Amino acid sequence: MGRMDGKVAIVTGGARGVGAADVQRLAEEGAAVAIADVLETEGRALEAELRQAGHEVRYFPLDVTREEDWAALVAAVLDWKGRITTLVNNAGIVNRTGITGTPLDRWNRVIGVNLTGVFLGLKHACPAIRDAGGGAVLNMASVASHVGHNDPAYAASKAGVLGLTRTAAAEYVDWNIRVNAICPGVIVTGLNAGGAHLEPWRRATPLGRFGTLEEVARLVLFLCSDEAGYITGEDIAIDGGFLAAGSARRISLEAGIDLTAAE
Ligand SMILES: NC(=O)c1ccc[n+]([C@@H]2O[C@H](COP(=O)([O-])OP(=O)(O)OC[C@H]3O[C@@H](n4cnc5c(N)ncnc54)[C@H](O)[C@@H]3O)[C@@H](O)[C@H]2O)c1
């Protein structure tokens, strides 16, 4: 028995990185998974690889910022499997310029993908999830949802995702849909590989390493599965202790305080 048997999931940005790991984990646990992404070549390659391994996955084109794409995706997935139970709003982009140096069109693009894309996903997929008797939505936020970041458009969009998550949880409880978010620290992917901030970030992380795709996918799986049936409107950090203990850890290290020293 798989933990997602009978479920039909959409994973946006599912062609690579964190999204691809989520697709694989959900499919391994028995879900039929729609890989929804602008990257057709990568999406079709992942589809072929996972089908070869015996999983039920299919690539669908989707630009999360286009409402007509969402309507077409939901119709196509219903045509494919007859129901939708699960939505992982994972697609995301970064910008990495300060407020003064950010052109308005780039600000709008980041907000469009990272925040408006989540709004459109909820708007279009949740009626179908209701029709399936309920299910779960997982929104990919970030540690940047909670603390300042060197990418203002990204931080603002990811903070907005938490507001949307809590609001959607209240709205969709009547449809038996749970809505949660997770806040990863650094997972090295195409989004950030080669970034100058990576090594300092690793040092600022109490566990002293980056997270892995598998670790994130396991949390996504849990929150999407019925095992998380009493969790909604929540956001969970998966960040090696960065948010909760990073400052205390750095201060102790800089001050030369050995927290584990015997009395
Ligand atoms: N990697 C990290 O350290 C990290 C940390 C915190 C949060 N996140 C979040 O995790 C999510 C996935 O990031 P990743 O690291 O896998 O990045 P990635 O760049 O490897 O993957 C992002 C995916 O989103 C897709 N995408 C981008 N714009 C899209 C659009 N308009 N419509 C549909 N798909 C689109 C891309 O094609 C790609 O497949 C993002 O929301 C990101 O903000 C990542």
Report pLDDT for 262.
Answer: 81
Atom index in ligand 1 nearest the CA of residue 190 equals 20
Catalytic member of 59, 154, 172, 230: 154
Atom index in ligand 1 nearest the CA of residue 112 equals 31
Residue carrying structure tokens 């209701």? 130
Report pLDDT for 78.
Answer: 99
| pLDDT higher than threshold 80 for residue 148 | yes
Q: What are phi and psi of 238, to 5 degrees?
A: -135, 85
166-195 residue pLDDT tens? 999 999 999 999 999 999 999 999 999 999
**CA 178 to centroid of ligand 1, rounded, Å:** 22
Residue 261: which pLDDT band, with cuts at 50, 70 and 90? confident
Residue 259: which pLDDT band, with cuts at 50, 70 and 90? confident
Angle formed by the axes of helices 152-172 and 104-111, nearest 10°? 30
CB-based pocket (< 6 A), ligand 1 = 12-13, 15-19, 37-39, 62-65, 90-93, 113, 140, 142, 184, 186-187, 189-192
**CA 258 to centroid of ligand 1, rounded, Å:** 38
Atom index in ligand 1 nearest the CA of residue 94 equals 43
**CA 89 to centroid of ligand 1, rounded, Å:** 10
Query: How far, in Å, CA of 239 to CA of 177, rounded?
Result: 26
61-111 residue pLDDT tens? 999 999 999 999 999 999 999 999 999 999 999 999 999 999 999 999 999
pTM as predicted:
0.98
The angle at the Cα of 14, spanning 238 to 217, to the nearest 5 degrees, equals 30
4-47 residue pLDDT tens? 999 999 999 999 999 999 999 999 999 999 999 999 999 999 99
Ligand 1 pocket mutation pick from 66, 93, 95, 198 by most atoms within 8 angstroms of CB: 93
**CA 37 to centroid of ligand 1, rounded, Å:** 10
Residues listed for the chain: 263
Report pLDDT for 251.
Answer: 94
Judge whether 154 counts as a catalytic residue.
yes
Mean pLDDT, the chain, as a whole number?
Answer: 97
**CA 190 to centroid of ligand 1, rounded, Å:** 8
Residue 71: what residue type? Answer: A
Atom index in ligand 1 nearest the CA of residue 39 equals 37
| pLDDT higher than threshold 90 for residue 130 | yes
| E strand spans, the chain | 8-12, 32-37, 57-61, 86-89, 135-140, 177-184, 235-238
| pLDDT higher than threshold 80 for residue 263 | no
Q: Whose CA is nearest to atom 43 of ligand 1?
A: 92
* Full set of structural domains in the chain with CATH: 8-193+210-240 (3.40.50.720)
Tokens representing residue 256 in the block: 């030369």
- Count of CB atoms within 10 A of residue 137's CB? 27
Ligand 1 pocket mutation pick from 18, 93, 149 by most atoms within 8 angstroms of CB: 18
Helices (H), 82-116: 104-111
Report pLDDT for 147.
Answer: 97
**CA 137 to centroid of ligand 1, rounded, Å:** 17
| pLDDT higher than threshold 90 for residue 48 | yes
Query: How far, in Å, CA of 109 to CA of 171, rounded?
Result: 27
